[in-house]
Structure 1
Amino acid sequence: MKQAELAGILAFLNGAEQLKQTLRSAHTSNGRQESTAEHTWRLCLMVMLFEKQFSDIDMLKLLKMCIIHDLGEAISGDIAAVDQIEGHDKGAQERTDLLQLMAPLPQDLQDEILLLWDEYEHASSPEAMMQKPLISWKPCYSTRKA
């Protein structure tokens, strides 16, 4: 790996780290607002735990989609469904933000992430169609205490 590629990856990771402070409209079981990083971690954990139930799904691809689906929130934050403005294309904004965040990455990584994100956004693969309901289920589940 060339030094410039490594520097680009590190710059991307530094930008993506903002997801630890990016708060979402969903709350944790103790009532505090959840960060995008926490949301992503829990979604990935759910996928791992249900792996045996979905043997026809490419789990690595699904996990990658889970990891990257909200990366754009590092730039503009989370827009809750109730706060979305009619006529404003949330997906287009998230894609623009993702492109900005990925700019330092080597082109092959940008291409891979964007392809996965587009599949997720358009639910154009079995993995993307599996991820969408898990995302919807997770906020409902996380608000319930054991």
Structure 2
Amino acid sequence: MPSETEASALLTFFTQAGALKDTLRSARTATGRVESVAEHSWRLAVMALVLAPTEPGLDLTRVLQLCLIHDLGEALGGDVPAPAQTTDPDRKARERQDVRSVVAALPPAQRDALIAAYDEADAGTTPEARFVKALDKLETCLQHVEGAQVPDFDFAFNLSYGRAATDAVPTIAALRRPVDDRTRARSASARASEPSTA
């Protein structure tokens, strides 16, 4: 049973992590509501729960840990939309510092374990991290084509986004193909509904 001090530290962490419920992403749900980072991470974990057993040798517990921790820093720094991520060279360092701040109240062993999980997910060098990175890209692309996006949404962005990561994992590469087909259909539909400039 945690001491009063430990309970306070845990509740501080849970409150900080809970900010992801109100941290919004740029994608929208099927009803047009802007999704939260927590919703993205939840579905990522559900997808991992179903798909990780199809990839031999993956540690499902570790995969789920990486899914749940990979965007924790966004509780403080907010989400950076996928198209803008390549234009911000300091984003990763800031996000890692935000993760350190979110977990700071935890006892050292728990704090260090969460930071290590974040670092593993970010580096993408273990089989579990590569799987999560690929699945993260697929979930984002899927949300883009499922959602009631803004009228000028660039669906074609999906076709190249995270391609190397998704292609590296056979199960996810197989799922990427129908998502790409949906992307092309949404992109064509969006172009067809644009007002004529003639």
Once residues 135 and 28 of structure 2 are traced to their aligned partners in structure 1, the CA distance between those partners, rounded to angstroms, is 16
Once residues 141 and 121 of structure 2 are traced to their aligned partners in structure 1, the CA distance between those partners, rounded to angstroms, is 21
Does the C-alpha gap of structure 1 residues 49 and 100 become closer, same or farther in structure 2, counting only changes over 3 Å? Answer: same
Does the C-alpha gap of structure 1 residues 35 and 87 become closer, same or farther in structure 2, counting only changes over 3 Å? Answer: closer
Q: Secondary structure at the match of 1:105?
A: coil
Q: Secondary structure at the match of 2:89?
A: coil
* CA positional deviation for 1:127: 0.4
Superposition map of 1:94-133 within 5 A:
94-133=95-134
Higher relative contact order (CA 8 A, sep 6+): 1
Contact residue 27 and residue 139 of structure 1 kept, 8 A? no
Correspondence for 1:63: 64
Q: Give the total of aligned pairs.
A: 146
Once residues 44 and 14 of structure 2 are traced to their aligned partners in structure 1, the CA distance between those partners, rounded to angstroms, is 20
Does the C-alpha gap of structure 1 residues 136 and 111 become closer, same or farther in structure 2, counting only changes over 3 Å? Answer: same
* CA positional deviation for 1:82: 2.6
Once residues 134 and 26 of structure 1 are traced to their aligned partners in structure 2, the CA distance between those partners, rounded to angstroms, is 16
Give TM-score scaled by structure 1 length. Answer: 0.92
* CA positional deviation for 1:46: 0.1
* CA positional deviation for 1:85: 7.0
Correspondence for 1:49: 50
Q: What is the CA deviation profile of residues 53-73 of structure 1, one whole-angstrom value per residue up to 9, with x for unaligned ones?
A: 123100000100000111111
Q: In the alignment, is residue 39 of structure 1 matched against residue 45 of structure 2?
A: no
Correspondence for 2:5: 4
Q: What is the CA deviation profile of residues 5-51 of structure 1, one whole-angstrom value per residue up to 9, with x for unaligned ones?
A: 22101100011111001001122222221100000000000011113
Contact residue 29 and residue 143 of structure 1 kept, 8 A? no
Once residues 26 and 129 of structure 1 are traced to their aligned partners in structure 2, the CA distance between those partners, rounded to angstroms, is 23
Whichever residue aligns with residue 111 of structure 2, its letter is Q
Once residues 71 and 84 of structure 1 are traced to their aligned partners in structure 2, the CA distance between those partners, rounded to angstroms, is 16
Once residues 6 and 83 of structure 1 are traced to their aligned partners in structure 2, the CA distance between those partners, rounded to angstroms, is 38
Over alpha carbons, which structure has the higher Rg?
Answer: 2
Give identity over the alignment, percent: 37
Correspondence for 2:24: 23
Once residues 84 and 132 of structure 1 are traced to their aligned partners in structure 2, the CA distance between those partners, rounded to angstroms, is 15
